[in-house]
């Protein structure tokens, strides 16, 4: 199948990847209500079609945190993406660089900061607040020395959400023997993935944190270490501690509430990402797109606001811009594409998003992505979108 949409990349990834890794990408927490809302609420928003307007000139470029992007899209941090394709973070970073957009490396990526920077441009770096502050300081110093331009500080994961699919697939919750048998069976039944990952993709560790997890060889060992080291005591004052080592832009990721957004301004952040962690943390909360307008109205020009969650097309990108986001971060979209076939498929996915965004802009009369506003929407009261989408 030749992929024509993000849903096609999802299907290709489902066919190619072992079940444990596909379910890890695809799943959410608990009953996955928020996961569904992220997509459904975007679908419920109607664009306002306009015709007979000269659309010869079209400008999709934006600037965020001092960085010029060819289109208002970046690749969000996705954990363990080096298990979807050999050295997957490097492949995705190369695709992003070629497309003129940023790539954000997850703390729990298979490839290290050093490897990604050597293989492509210095990535944005995503950081969790960990109990081991000495190691955190080391991570921040490494990112700074390597030239990472933006720190994305994820704040909605003081404890991992309950993800039922990971238990059912055997990824978590079983014995070491059960995990080994599951992985062996997955390897036998997915030969192309096995060849790729075990001939070109080793080592299968979490490269950025490898020095802190001595004697571990399996990805699950590193994830267990990360889980034990999430810090529930984190508060807005901890941004002062981060600032002692990091002097670049700090973007707070995981904000859904307008009051939290105002607190981010007071704490000295330069930006935030309206996000519910892709529906992977607290289930039953609102979608990112329905939270976006209130947060944009709350912070005004004090912060640069990005959004992730449920974005599956260029039309979704324009809807987010219309509601005040300066750019969106793609998560599952690029993970599906990477799992479907590596860098080439990520490049193809980004080209599709770019083409869809161009069509949406032309048919709404939007000549510049920077100028997109609520006039592009067809009279929808956005805060009530979530209610109507489920009625």
Q: Which 3 state secondary structure label does DSSP give 321?
A: helix
Q: For residue 332, what is the enclosing H or E element?
A: helix 332-341
CA separation for the pair 13, 310 (Å, rounded): 17
Cβ atoms 312, 6 nearer than 8 A: yes
Tokens of 214: 């001595």
The one-character DSSP state at 258 is H
Please state whether the peptide bond connecting residue 203 to the residue before it is cis, i.e. omega within 30 degrees of 0: yes
CA–CA–CA angle 164, 28, 380 (5° rounding) = 145
Scanning the structure block, which residue is given the tokens 């994961």?
157
**Cα dihedral 346, 352, 358, 363 sign:** negative
Place of tokens 């992505």: 369
What tokens does 338 get? Answer: 């990477």
Residues constituting the chain: 391
Helices (H), 147-273: 164-169, 176-189, 191-199, 219-229, 238-245, 258-266
In degrees, to the nearest 5, what angle opens at C-alpha 386 toward C-alphas 383 and 391? Answer: 130
Q: What CA–CA distance (Å, rounded) separates 4 from 6?
A: 7
The pair of structure tokens assigned to 302 is 């004090």
Active site residues: 277
Measured CA to CA, the distance from residue 357 to residue 351 in angstroms comes to 10
**Sign for the pseudo-dihedral over CA of 368, 374, 377, 382:** positive
How large is the angle between the packed helices 314-322 and 33-43, nearest 10 degrees?
A: 80
What are the percentages of helix, strand and coil residues in the chain, rounded to 5? Answer: 50, 10, 35
């Amino acid at each position: 199948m030749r992929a024509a949409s993000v849903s096609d990349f999802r299907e290709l990834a489902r066919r190619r990847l072992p079940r444990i890794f596909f379910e890890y990408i695809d799943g959410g927490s608990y009953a996955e209500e928020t996961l569904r809302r992220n997509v459904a609420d975007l679908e419920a928003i109607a664009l306002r079609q306009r015709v007979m307007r000269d659309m010869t000139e079209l400008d999709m470029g934006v600037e965020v945190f001092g960085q010029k992007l060819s289109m208002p899209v970046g690749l969000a941090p996705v954990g363990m993406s080096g298990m979807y394709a050999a050295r997957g973070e490097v492949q995705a970073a190369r695709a992003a660089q070629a497309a003129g957009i940023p790539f954000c490396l997850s703390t729990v990526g298979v490839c290290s900061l050093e490897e990604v920077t050597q293989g492509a441009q210095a990535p944005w770096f995503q950081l969790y607040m960990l109990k081991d502050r000495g190691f955190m300081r080391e991570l921040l110093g490494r990112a700074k020395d390597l030239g990472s331009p933006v720190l994305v500080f994820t704040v909605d994961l003081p404890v991992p959400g309950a993800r039922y699919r990971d238990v059912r697939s055997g990824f978590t919750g079983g014995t070491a023997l059960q995990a080994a048998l599951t992985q062996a069976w997955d390897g036998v039944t997915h030969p192309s993935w096995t060849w790729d990952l075990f001939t070109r993709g080793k080592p299968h560790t979490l490269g950025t944190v490898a020095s802190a997890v001595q004697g571990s060889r399996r990805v699950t060992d590193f994830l267990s270490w990360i889980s034990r080291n999430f810090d529930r005591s984190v508060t807005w004052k901890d941004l002062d501690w981060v600032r002692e080592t990091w002097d670049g832009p700090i973007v707070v990721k995981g904000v859904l509430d307008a009051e939290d957004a105002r607190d981010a301004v007071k704490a000295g952040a330069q930006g935030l990402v309206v996000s519910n962690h892709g529906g992977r943390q607290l289930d039953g909360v609102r979608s990112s797109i329905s939270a976006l307008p209130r947060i944009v109205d709350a912070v005004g020009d004090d912060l640069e606001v990005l959004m992730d969650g449920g974005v599956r097309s260029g039309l979704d990108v324009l809807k987010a811009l219309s509601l005040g986001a300066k750019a969106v971060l793609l998560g599952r979209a690029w993970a599906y594409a990477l799992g479907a076939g590596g860098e080439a498929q990520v490049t193809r996915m980004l080209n599709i998003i770019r083409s869809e965004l161009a069509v949406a802009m032309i048919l709404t009369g939007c000549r510049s992505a920077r100028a997109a506003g609520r006039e592009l929407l067809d009279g929808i009261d956005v805060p009530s979108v979530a209610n109507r989408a489920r009625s």
